[in-house]
Structure 1
Amino acid sequence: MDAVDTQAPVGQVRPGGHAKVIRAALAAGKHVLSEWPLGVDVAEAEDLARAAAAAGVVHVVNLQGHQSPDARYVADLIAAGTIGRLESAVLVAAGDPLGGPRIAPELAWSTDPAAGTSLLTVMAGHFLATLDRMAGRLVEVSASLPRPHDHVEVTGTGGTVPNGVPAQVLLHGVLENGATASVAVHGGSGSPDGFFVKLVGSEGTVTVTQPRPGTYLHWTDWVIRVDGERVRVPDDYRTVPFDPAAGPVANVAAVYQEIARSMAEGRRPHPDFHTAAAHHRVLAAIERAAETGVAAKVR
């Protein structure tokens, strides 16, 4: 999903229904592109990844932050040693419209954890995948998932619904390259009020901020600065036409482009179901750490 599923229009499937549709497609020998999250939990995601591999078809998940030209450019800056050795990563972002004290009627179903759609799974899921693309994957986390609202108001109805999902995602972790990570994703009831990423290296700093109100980290057209000086993403990083007003469309188009290229080149596309299952394991580690109060390894 690009930001969050609403009351599903014709042809759209909520996360709880992904597995049934995907398994039917795999049984028919069809290639599959799934929206994120792949499944309702890590076990279901891993099962779908195994099934897709056994079916021998092309399988892709729409974690479009992986295809963001901005994220790819920042990743290349880090890999090239532009700021020296990466030492820490900080991410702060708004996850509206999920996680707030109010929820839109068409999203009232998402307050049930079994639905698979929450501030953690969807918004933080997309943001962490984009951070992964830039700075590397998390291997250990300590976390808190505050849930201050036992019930949330359904806007415009005068009623409430029980709430079992978090209003914030807070974590400290370690990346595979040894750098530390600090992440805060806060929920809300309206349009997101921005995001901020700071990547600190031994010899410099990269910062990322939103280009305009109402945008998300896993979209594109960021404001990127190296040691305070704004830098532009080179044109050759944008492989599809780009319209700043079109939200995530360019990155989603790049996902389809990646599928076509992978098929022509006879390789696995990225991110595939195995990537999705690995990302579900990150979210599962966050949940374990929050529940136990003990740092959790990403399995």
Structure 2
Amino acid sequence: MIRVGVVGAGGWADGSHLPALAALEAFDVTAVATTNQASADRAAATHGVRHAFADAGELAAHPEVDLVVVSVKTPGHAAAIRAALDAGKHVVSEWPLGVDADEARELTETATAAGVVHAVVLQGHHSPSARFAADLLAGGRIGTLESVALVAQGAPLGGSRIWPDLAFGLDPSAGSTVLTIMAGHFLAALERVAGPLAEVSARLPRTHDRVLVTGTERTVSNATPSHVLLHGLLANGATASVAVHGGNESAGDAFLLKLVGSEGTLTATPSRPGTFIHWGDWDIRIGDDALTMPGTYRTVPSSVRYGPAANIAALYQEVAQAVAEARQPHPSFETALRHHRLLAAIERSASEGTPQKIS
């Protein structure tokens, strides 16, 4: 049994990490932490957890915690991760790993030196649909892959208004933009299917210099992009075209993924309207033929509800196996660092107007 402490239990983790962990026999959530003791106590009571803290360091140091889950806002990731590593605990961090590639590199090096298991929540890597589509490509169902196109909506980021709890991300130094959060997850899912990008040419238009805070009459300055546009080459030689459009409201056609091969075309759309590509199931077609994904691709208990918790639960299954086998899980901090470098290359290309290689 892996004993887990969740830092940030009152936010995103409440509907994703905590339900995922509760459904898996390999884990026992023993501690939670939030920004103050009162909310930590409430979270502990809600989820039946024994220990509650207002400090991530105290949680990480507790003897009944083997693995620390970091699910706070991106600027707080580094401190919580370092506290876990200092205590010699395994770590699962939400994406992005850090606010930029430099911070991600430092955290990766520190985690490697600590000798613990470390994973990042790029849950598209564990999407059953993404794995099924990848296997279809690997099995030659559309011949040699020649081009990939992804169009996806990035709301609630990138629009003319923003929720109060997301307004901090309008400062690019916070590392929580339509590029890092939305495009970051979408590109990870795309690469899980089609393989890694090797070169990118990008634009990052900013449509709104000021953004209205929803529920108020206050506007705030915005220095982050509204959309992500890129063309590139995959390592396997196929071309790639990606458009992530920010906005205010989620749309029913949340994404369209098209993979064109020498012998056919595979298309994927969300099975449920408005579902992000890294969260839910896909409707997959080759030409005019709808395909049914074999049940073997779904490994998490049926009690895990549809949505982000399902693919996060699959990630935790991988983490448990990695702990048992004394190896690193996938995606690890090393995976996150490579992905941060991809986003940095996109930013450089948009700034300099030149193609960029991915290191």
Query: Match for residue 217 of structure 1?
Result: 277
Aligned residue in 2 for 1:82: 141
Q: Pick from 69, 90, 95 the counterpart of residue 128 of structure 2.
A: 69
Partner Cα distance (2:292, 2:325) in 1: 30
Work out whether 1:271 is the aligned partner of 2:331.
yes
Contact 2:119 2:319 in 1 (8 A): yes
Residue-by-residue CA offset, 1:193-212 (whole Å, 9 max, x unaligned): 31000000111111000112
Higher Cα Rg: structure 1 or 2?
2
The residue number in structure 2 matching 1:283 is 343
User: Is 1:121 the counterpart of 2:180 in the alignment?
Assistant: yes
Cα distance in 2 between the residues matched to 1:46 and 1:162: 29
Residue by residue, what CA displacement relative to the aligned partner does 1:5-48 show, whole Å, maximum 9, x if unpaired? 69x87574211111111111101100000000000000110111
Count of matched residue positions in the alignment of Structure 1 and Structure 2: 296
Q: Tell me the CA shift for residue 141 of structure 1.
A: 0.3
CA distance in structure 1 between the partners assigned to 2:85 and 2:305 by the alignment? 36
Letter in 2 for 1:174: L
Pick from 89, 94, 106: which aligns with 1:47?
106
Which runs of 5 or more structure 2 residues have no equivalent in the other structure? 1-7, 14-33, 41-70
Asked if structure 1 preserves the Cα contact closer than 8 Å seen for 2:155 and 2:247, the reply is yes
Q: Distance in 1 between matches of 2:120 and 2:189?
A: 14
* 1:249 CA displacement: 1.3
- Provide the secondary structure at the position in 2 that maps to 1:161: strand
Q: Tell me the distance in 1 between the aligned counterparts of 2:278 and 2:302.
A: 15
- Secondary structure, counterpart of 2:149 in structure 1: strand
Asked if the contact 1:221/1:244 (under 8 Å) is kept, the reply is no
Provide the C-alpha distance between the structure 2 equivalents of 1:244 and 1:212, rounded to a whole number of angstroms: 16
**Where does the alignment leave 5 or more consecutive residues of structure 1 unmatched?**
none
TM-score scaled by structure 2? 0.79
Shift of 1:261: 1.1
- The 2-side partners of 1:188 and 1:80 are apart by 37
Q: Secondary structure of 2:211's partner?
A: strand
Q: Which moved more, 1:24-33 or 1:101-110?
A: 101-110
- 1:267 is paired with a residue whose SS is coil
Is residue 99–residue 174 contact of structure 2 (8 Å, CA) maintained in 1? yes
Displacement, 1:80?
Answer: 1.0
Native 8 Å contact 2:195 2:234 kept in 1: yes
CA pair 23-87 structure 1, distance change in 2 beyond 3 A = same
Q: Which amino acid aligns with 1:260?
A: A
**SS of the residue 1:22 aligns to:** helix
Distance of 1:242 and 1:178 partners within structure 2:
39
Displacement over 2 Å in runs of 4+: 8-12, 241-246
Counterpart amino acid of 2:250? Answer: S
Distance, in Å, in 1 between the alignment partners of 2:142 and 2:325 is 34
Aligned equivalents of 2:75, 2:165: Cα separation in 1: 16
SS in 2 for 1:126: helix
What is the CA distance between 1:135 and its match in structure 2? Answer: 0.2
Q: Output aligned runs, 1:1-299, within 5 Å.
A: 12-193=71-252, 194-242=254-302, 246-299=306-359
